[in-house]
Chain A
Amino acid sequence: MEGRAVVVGVGESPYYKRGGASESEFQLACIAIRNAVADAGLTMADVDGFASYMDRNEPVRLSNALGTGDLHFTGQTFGGGGNGTAAAVALADMAVSAGYAECVVVFRSLAQGQFHRYGQAGKSRRAGGSAAYTAPYGMLSAAQICAMQTMRWMHDHGVTQDSLAEVALACFAHAQHNPRAVRYGSPLTREEYHASRWIAEPFHLYDCCPENDGAAAIVVTTAERARDCAQPGVPIVAAAQGLAHRGGGAAFTEDGFPTAHYDLVARQLWNRAGVKPADVPVAQFYENFTGPVLMAIAEMGFCEPGEINDFVANGGIQLGGRLPINTSGGNLAEAYIHGFGCVVEAVRQMRGTSTCQVEGADLSLVVAGPGFAPGSAVLFGRDS
């Protein structure tokens, strides 16, 4: 069934630092969706479905406010966060490929200046569920969780702090070409990276995604309808979501710890697509934190864990390198829209309109939030 659904529109709101948006989170969602639908050359009446992950802007309200057509599909993925970024695109692929809907908007709107900040945690008198085993010990934030995974992974495979830095340096370098990026005009040096304060060892400030306000959206439709749209269609070649057997243990008890939860996703994705990692010339790896990105690069099969230092060194993951990643600046330096900016950028790479365009690229990968299960990934292709 894969390959039948096509991305025909992308759009975003302006991206802001946390608290910088004058628009509400719901308004940001509406702006991004309108922009994506207009980009496709469609009207809101064409939209008949919504997909997202962890979003609080409900399709019922969006449909009323935006004046969509009759809705035939709505869906969100399960799971703890940005690991659903690509899985939400897969939901739209499934709905369109199976004929449940014809024109599905996939979106994420997140204004951390208006709601809970992901970098902070509340104080409860008593913590229940799996948090009972972590919160009383001060293990509270996503940064701390990924730090615990990364520390052991670096130990096991001899990964250096400089390799973590390479992810941040690639993102900031690419953002300097992207006027939409929050960090456009604010380059980062290796010295500034190493001098920045610790957040949760081994993560410095620049290993951690920022808190931003903004929204991003794409429009997914059938190959047949894509032919009448304003932009060249970008086919969804394959997508995958995965949680390995016993891979979801609470409080770091999962089999395979430390894992980014991408071994199973990789096996499915490459099998479905009929390609191998070496065929992929550009990728967007959701950076919650730099360490899990390195883990995901290895688990997706681009190199062995023990080869990661060499893989990312000397511009290996920057434009012109063996695998340019996060070519818009990514979560770290474009904006943290819970990773959906990575999806928009991956589509732009296939249109040839990225601000860091990889010339001749014919496949474009998105790997969703690593370190949290289930993981997901999506591979886009070029219109042929």
Chain B
Amino acid sequence: MTTTETGPLPDDWTLPRLGRVNTEWFTSGKLLVQTCNACGTRQHPPEEICHQCGSMDLGHTELGPNGTVHSYTVAHYAVNRALADAVPYAVVLVTLDDDPSIRIIGNVIDADPGEVHIGMPVRATWVERSDENGTVLLPQWVRA
């Protein structure tokens, strides 16, 4: 599910560079968590080799969109001039309810920073963003 909400950061803010292991994560519009085809281990962020068995034969498992805020910070100081109008904004660390060992950074794009708290239930969504290098579907979060 994509959303028209864009979150707290500017529309031309940094996007992920797509590479060997992260293209599915940032373009599929699904929580495709990297999974080892040899031993079944899930790992995030994706890597070029399975952390458990060393296999380089890696696929994906789609996990459900529900998650829980495990930690967060509210950034008040703009570390880059381009973020001067974005602060204060919250950054959250979400664990997936399907597999709490998977932790994902994001923003809760429909909540004010003061509403974000540890234990907050959230649900994944995707924000479509483009630049001259192409289009990504950025995983983000809304209140569940």
Give Cα A120–Cα B75 distance, bound, in whole angstroms.
12
Q: Is the CB of A152 within 8 A of B45?
A: no
Give Cα A197–Cα B77 distance, bound, in whole angstroms.
9
Q: Is the CB of A197 within 8 A of B86?
A: no
Contacts of B133 in A (CB 8 A): 125-126
Residue of A whose beta carbon sits closest to that of B46: A133
Q: Is the CB of A137 within 8 A of B105?
A: yes
| Chain B contact residues, CB within 8 Å of chain A | 8-9, 13-17, 19, 22, 26, 43-45, 51, 70-77, 79-80, 82-83, 86, 88-89, 91, 93, 102-107, 118, 131-133, 138
Q: Is the CB of A137 within 8 A of B73?
A: no
Q: Is A347 an interface residue (CB 8 A)?
A: no
Which residues of A (223-264) have their CB < 8 Å from a CB of B? 246, 250-253, 257-258
Which residues of A (105-124) have their CB < 8 Å from a CB of B? 119-124
- What are 29 A-B pairs with beta-carbon distances under 8 A? A121-B79, A121-B80, A122-B80, A123-B13, A123-B82, A126-B15, A128-B16, A130-B45, A132-B17, A132-B45, A134-B105, A135-B16, A137-B107, A138-B83, A139-B73, A139-B105, A143-B77, A148-B73, A151-B71, A198-B77, A199-B77, A200-B76, A201-B76, A202-B73, A250-B45, A251-B103, A252-B93, A253-B43, A253-B102
Contacts of A127 in B (CB 8 A): 14-17
Once A124-B14, A138-B89, A155-B118 are accepted as A-B contacts, the answer to whether A119 and B79 lie under 8 Å apart by CB is yes
Q: Is the CB of A138 within 8 A of B71?
A: no
Distance (whole angstroms) from the CB of A286 to the closest CB of chain B: 20
Give Cα A282–Cα B74 distance, bound, in whole angstroms.
34
Residue of B whose beta carbon sits closest to that of A255: B101
Contacts of A130 in B (CB 8 A): 45
Contacts of A136 in B (CB 8 A): 9, 13-16, 138
Give Cα A274–Cα B82 distance, bound, in whole angstroms.
52
Contacts of B106 in A (CB 8 A): 137
Q: 1/0 per residue A277-320: CB within 8 Å of B?
A: 00000000000000000000000000000000000000000000
Q: Is the CB of A137 within 8 A of B131?
A: no
Give Cα A144–Cα B90 distance, bound, in whole angstroms.
10
Q: Which of A119, A135, A199 contacts B76 (CB 8 A)?
A: A199
Q: Is A57 an interface residue (CB 8 A)?
A: no
Once A136-B15, A139-B91 are accepted as A-B contacts, the answer to whether A251 and B79 lie under 8 Å apart by CB is no
Q: Is A161 an interface residue (CB 8 A)?
A: no
Contacts of B77 in A (CB 8 A): 119, 143, 197-200
Give Cα A85–Cα B73 distance, bound, in whole angstroms.
27
Q: Is the CB of B73 within 8 A of A251?
A: no
Q: Is the CB of B19 within 8 A of A155?
A: no
Give Cα A123–Cα B79 distance, bound, in whole angstroms.
10
Q: Is A186 an interface residue (CB 8 A)?
A: no
Contacts of A122 in B (CB 8 A): 80
